[in-house]
Chain A
Amino acid sequence: MNALELTDVRKVYTMGDDSEVVALDRASLTIGSDEIVALVGPSGSGKTTLCSIAGGILRATEGRVVVADEDISAYSEKELTRFRQRMVGFVFQSVNLVPFLTARENLLVVDELGQRRGKAAQQRADELLEELGLADRAKNLPSQLSGGQRQRVAIGRALMNDPKLVLFDEPTSALDTKLGEQVMDLIRTEMKRRGTAAIVVTHDERILHYCDRSVHITDGVLAA
C-alpha cells in the first residue's frame, strides 16, 4: 500500500479576467507507506498546492489522487472533511494552533471536533506530549510557548488522528538553524517510529538529509 499516488494531477486557477494560472501541471508522484519525501522548489512553484491536493483541502482540476488506497479524486466537500479528519495530518506554514487552547487542548480539539474517542484521545495526547518533550508544557497556551515548542505542539496535533500521510509545509522556516534541525530530527524520529509517510516542503537544502529522497518542483512541474 502506498501512502500517496498522484497520477497526472493538474490544478488550474481561473482568474477574474479569464486568464489561467497552472499551479500544478500533470504531476505524478508515488510515496511509499513510510517514506519521507522532501518537496523542494522556488516560491510560487506549486508546493503548497500539491500538499493541499494530497491532503484533501483542495480539489484537483484533473487527475487521480489516491491516499492509502482511498481514491479521493471525486470526493464531495463533506467527504473530504471526513477524509482529512481520519487520514492526514497537517503542519501548516503559519497558523497552526488555536490561541485560546492549551498545548494539550490543541491536541484534543482535533478529536473533539472529529472522531470523539474521548478517553483514548486523552491518553494519546499525553503520550504525544511526552514524546515531543512537552509534558511539562501541556497546560501552557501557545502564547506562553517558544517558537520551537509551538512547532512541536503542531506536530503533535498533526499526529493525533494516527494519519497515513503527514504534510509539513515549511516546518522550519520560522525557526533558527539549530532549532530547525532539532524539529526535523523530531519529525524523522516520529515518522519512522510510527512508519508513517510524510511530505516535507522546504527551501532549505540543509534539512534534505532528514528525508529519504527529495522531489523538485518548478512552475508546477515535478522532477525527481
Chain B
Amino acid sequence: MYLALKEMARSKVRFGLLVAAIALLVFLILFQQSLQNGLITGFIGAIRNQNSPVLVYSVDGQRVIQGSVLTPDLEAAARGVDGVGEVGRIGQGTFTALPTAERLGGASETFDTSVIGYDLGEDGRGLGSPTSLSAGRYPAADNEAVASSSDQASGFDLGDTIRILPGDEVITIVGLADDAQLNVTPTLFASYTTYEAAVASANPDARGLLPNVLAMAPAEGTTPEQLVANVNAASPDLDALTRADAEANTPGVSQVRQSFQLIFLLYGLVVPCVTGLFFLIVTFQKANTLTLLRAVGAPSSRLVGSLLAQVALILGSGIALGALLYYPISQQRLGGIQLRFETSAAIFWAVLLLVLGVGSALLAARRVLAIDPIEATTGAGVGR
C-alpha cells in the first residue's frame, strides 16, 4: 500500500487523468443506462404499471394496443376459455388534447395524448388501471382520469381539465401515476365509456367501436402463463401475452434494448482496455524500479499487490466520481423522458467494471511477475 500510495501521490496528474477518463466513461454508461430505461418506460410504462396480468390482442394488431381490434367473435372466444377469472375491455387511442388549466394562462399548446379506457369496476381499479397512484384517487365516474405523472407541468396535474380536440369532451384529472406513459405521450386512464366518448367527439362518424385489447386475470389455481396458453389455443387470431411479455414484445422495445446493449458492450470493453493499457505502460515505464525492488528482496507478490491496490483505488475513485457527476443530471427530464438515478444499475456497473478492470490489469501483473532481479545488476539497468 505504501509504495502504491506514494507513487500515486507523486504522479497526481497521470493517475488523475485516468480517474477522469474512467469517471467520464462511468458517467456515460449510467447516463445511457437511464436513458434506455427512461425511453422504454416512456414507451410501455402504461403496460408495465397496469394491474392486468394477461393482455389479449388480435394477431393483426402485431402487439400494438391501438392496432389490435377484437371482433365480438374473438372477444367471445377469449372470454370462454378455461381459467379465466376476470375480464375487462381496454380501448386506447391517441388524441389531440388541450390542457385547459388556468395557471397555463390560456396559452397552452396541444399534446398528442393517449387515452386508455378500461372497465372501472367498483373502486376504479378494474383490470387495466394503474397499479398504484402517486397522488389523488382512481376515477369514480366517467370523464375522470388518472394521468401519467411525468406530464404534470404540461397541464396534466391533479384537478386539471383536458379537452379532447376537435369536440368538447372534457376529462378531469383526479389521480396521478408514475411511469405510466404510453408511446412517450401524456397518458390518461379513464373509463371505457369516456374512451368511447373521446373517439366519438374526435371523429363523429365513427361507428361500432370495438375494444382493442382484453385485460384478463386468471381464476384461482390458474397461472397467467396457463391462461395465456388457453387463450392462444382457442383461436389462431388471438394473441395473449403476460404483462411482462406484452411489455417486452411491443414493437421497438427489443430494438432499443439491443442498440443500447451494443453501446454497453463497447463501454464494457473500453473501460478495461483503458485501465489495462494504462497500467501496462506504467509497469513498463517503471521496470527499473520494480527490478531494483525485487533485487533488494521485495517478493513479487508484494509488488503485484501494490499494483492491484492501485488499480482498485483508481477504478473505485473513477466510478465514484462518475456516479457523482451523473447524480445531478439524473434528476432531469430529457425531451420528455424522465431520467432517474438507478442505484442498482450503478452498483451493477461498479462491480462489473471493477472486476473487468482488475482483470485487465493482470496483464501488467504478469509483467511484474516476469521480472528477473538479475537485471538490476547489469550496468545500465533494465532495458539496456
The one of B300, B302, B382 that contacts A95, using a Cβ cutoff of 8 Å:
B382
Specify the chain B residue showing the minimal Cβ separation from A89.
B296
Contact of A92 among B2, B302, B303, B377 (CB under 8 A): B377
Residue A214 at the B interface, CB < 8 A?
no
Q: How large is the interface on B (under 10, 10 to 19, 20 to 34, 35 or more residues)?
A: 20 to 34
CB neighbours (8 Å) of B378 from chain A are 48, 93
A51 at the interface (CB under 8 A from B): yes
Is B11 on the interface with A (CB-CB < 8 A)? yes
A95-B382, A100-B7 given; A113·B298 CB < 8 A: yes
A78 to B373, CA, bound (A): 12
User: Closest residue to A99 on the B side, CB-wise?
Assistant: B289
Q: Are A86 and B297 in contact (CB under 8 A)?
A: yes
Instruction: Let me know if B3 is at the binding interface, CB within 8 A.
Output: yes
Mask: chain A, 137-157; 1 = CB below 8 Å from B; 0 = not: 000010000000000000001
Q: Is the CB of A57 within 8 A of B7?
A: no
B292 — which chain A residues lie within 8 A by C-beta? 92, 95-98
Within 8 A of A (CB), among B1-47: 2-3, 6-7, 10-11
Contact A52 B297, beta carbon cutoff 8 Å: no
Interface residues in A37-85 (C-beta closer than 8 Å to B): 48, 51-52, 57-58, 78, 81-85
- The B interface, classified by DSSP as helix, strand, loop or mixed, is helix
Contact with A along B279-295 (1 / 0, CB 8 A): 00000000011011111
- Please tell me if A161 contacts chain B, counting CB pairs below 8 Å: yes
Q: Do residues B299 and A78 form an inter-chain contact, with CB atoms below 8 A?
A: yes
A48→B377 contact, CB < 8 A: yes
12 A-B pairs besides A98-B292, A112-B2, A157-B296 with CB distance below 8 A are: A48-B377, A57-B377, A78-B299, A83-B297, A84-B295, A92-B295, A95-B381, A110-B297, A113-B3, A141-B10, A161-B297, A169-B377
User: Could you jot down 25 A-B contacts, CB within 8 Å?
Assistant: A57-B295, A81-B373, A82-B299, A83-B297, A84-B295, A84-B373, A90-B376, A92-B295, A92-B376, A93-B377, A93-B378, A93-B379, A95-B292, A95-B381, A95-B382, A100-B7, A101-B10, A109-B293, A109-B298, A110-B297, A112-B2, A113-B297, A114-B298, A157-B296, A161-B297
Binding site for B on A (CB under 8 A): 48, 51-52, 57-58, 78, 81-86, 90, 92-101, 105, 108-110, 112-114, 141, 157-158, 161, 169
Chain B residues packing against A (C-beta within 8 Å): 2-3, 6-7, 10-11, 288-289, 291-300, 302-303, 373-374, 376-382
